[in-house]
Amino acid sequence: MPGTFVFKSLKPMTRRDFLARSGAVSTLLVTSRPASAAAQPQVGIPASAKPLFVSTWPFGRASNEAALKVFQAGGSLLDAVEQGIWVTESDAGNGSVGLGGIPNAAGVVQLDACIMEGVGHRAGSVAALEGIRHPISVARRVMEKTPHVMLVGEGARQFALEQGFEQGERVSPGREKAWKNWKAQQDAKRASKPKGHDTIALVGLGPDGHLCGGCSTSGMGYKLPGRVGDSPILGSGLYVDDEIGAAGATGIGENVLRYCGSYQVVEYMRQGLSPQDACLETLRRIAKKDPKGFDLSISFIAIDKQGRFGAAGTGSGFQYSVTFPGTSVVLQSPGLTAKSVGPIGGNRPPVK
Ligand code: SD4
């Protein structure tokens, strides 16, 4: 429901309720944009409240909170993002991040992850990585210890093993059982389409104004072996520009990959849009071009250098997590459908 915030219990409440009931919300700044722009509230935090962590989905809140702890204990922003993402990667109950994820069509979990640091515009990435517990850390190691940006498949696994990363089962027993059922149905030609897709994308802004981000997923459940989604692809699943802001994506990767979605969100912020409007405008732009229109199942989160944040998704939107000292909340993003915007791209002036 656009404009509705959800606080901790995930019980929906109006923004007014949220502002009134959260003790920490005095630190949230909600400002209006000129009437000619989209009617979304622009939300941000004061400079004194940093660091700020924003991530996809309600499960991102535990990752944000871990990131904040790491930072407050003296870790760098990059440490905070990486170790925050560990929390979601370690959650065996999470079907779409880490080795607890739904396997591919061959019954093996293949993990994708990337990390990006604003300072130096550095990045590292891994794709189709099997049997390694923390792909986000392997991505960081690729960034820090190799002359490369991305390693895939067996090469990525060999690198992770050489670097001493912790191994895990290539598929958890519970997921293997479900996969066997799926496979049996497939053999009988009754299989459902690939399913289950959530990703953690987590972006952070430090008190010094620098930005970092990370993204980790097991991708779409029952995907073809070797399939790589948007999450490990810089500019698609994640993008960080230290001059402007950072953005991350979740949803059907194929619908983000073809449009360099996170790069586009950051570029709209560069043109002056708030994080929220940049997410909305990116969705409009993609939907305008794509034969599927708004039927894309994709969402974005974004933060800018000023500490403003926002998110938006197709359909009814999605929930995302926002954490800074004294506050940790799950919010409902606005959603976009053909009906809610009228003619695609038609309810706001095009961005110049
Ligand atoms: C992918 N984008 O592999 C990921 C999955 C995801 O919400 O984010 N789902 O396509």
Examine residue 251 and state whether it is found in any structural domain, yes or no.
Answer: yes
Question: 25-34, 66-75, 195-204: which has the highest mean pLDDT?
Answer: 66-75
Of ligand 1's listed atoms, the one at least distance from the Cα of 228 is: 3
How far, in Å, is the centroid of ligand 1 from the Cα of 289? 21
Confidence label for 246 from pLDDT (cuts 50, 70 and 90):
very high
Give the number of the atom of ligand 1 that is nearest the alpha carbon of residue 197. 9
Count of other CB atoms within 10 angstroms of residue 206? 18
The Cα-based distances of 275 to 208, 252, 279, 301, 306 in angstroms read 19, 21, 6, 8, 10
- How far does residue 349's CA lie from ligand 1's centre (Å)? 30
Q: What is the mean pLDDT of residues 322-348?
A: 79
CA 200 to centroid of ligand 1, rounded, Å: 9
User: Is 231 part of any domain?
Assistant: yes
Q: Which atom of ligand 1 is nearest to the CA of 198?
A: 7
Alpha-carbon distances, residue 316 vs 42, 186, 203, 279, 287 (angstroms): 19, 31, 23, 14, 15
SS3 at position 312? strand
Q: Which residue among 109, 238, 250, 286 is best mutated to probe the pocket of ligand 1, counting the most ligand atoms within 8 A of its Cβ?
A: 250
Mutation choice for ligand 1 from 85, 89, 96, CB with most ligand atoms inside 8 A:
96
- Which has more confidence, 186 or 317? 317
Residue 352 lies in a domain: no
DSSP for 210-231, please give it: -EEEEEEE--SBTPPTT---ST
Identify the bridge partners of residue 328 per DSSP, sorted by sequence position. Answer: 323
Task: Give a yes or no: residue 343 inside a domain.
Answer: no
The secondary structure element, H or E, covering residue 283 is helix 275-289
Q: Which of the four pLDDT bands, split at 50, 70 and 90, describes residue 198?
A: confident
Q: What is the three-class DSSP state of 255?
A: helix
* CATH number reported for the structural domain that contains residue 259 in this entry: 3.60.20.30
Ligand 1 atom at minimal distance to the Cα of residue 223: 3
Which residues lie with the beta carbon below 6 Å from any ligand 1 atom? 197-199, 217, 219-220, 229-231, 250-253
* Closest atom of ligand 1 to CA, residue 229: 3
Domain assignment present for residue 349? The answer is no
Q: How far apart are the CA of 253 and the centre of ligand 1, in A?
A: 5
Provide the pLDDT for residue 42. 63
Q: How far apart are CA 349 and CA 340, in angstroms?
A: 16
Question: How many domains does the structure of the chain reveal?
Answer: 1
Do 192 and 179 form a contact (C-beta atoms < 8 A)?
no
Nearest to 309 by CA among 184, 202, 158, 226: 202
Strand-pair category, 245-251 with 298-304? antiparallel
Select the more confidently predicted residue: 339 or 14: 339
345 in a domain, yes or no? no
Residue 128, SS3 per DSSP: strand
> Best of 94, 220, 227, 238 to mutate for ligand 1, by most ligand atoms within 8 A of CB?
220
Distance CA 287, CA 312 (A): 13
Residue 22 CA to ligand 1 centre (angstroms): 32
Asked if the model's pLDDT at residue 145 lies above 70, the reply is yes
Cα gap 344→293, rounded to integer Å: 8
β-bridge mates for residue 30, sequence order: 43
The predicted structure's pLDDT at residue 33: 39
- The predicted model gives 43-65 an average pLDDT of 90
Domain extent, residue 269, equals: 2-334
- Res 16 pLDDT > 50: no
Mode of pairing for the β-strands spanning 298-304 and 200-205: unpaired
The Cα 279–Cα 345 span in angstroms is 13
> Closest residue (by CA) to atom 2 of ligand 1?
253
Q: Is 4 a catalytic residue?
A: no
Cis bond before residue 51 (omega within 30° of 0)? yes
344 DSSP 8-state letter: T
Catalytic residue among 4, 27, 146, 199: 199
Domain assignment present for residue 170? The answer is yes
| Domain assignment present for 350 | no
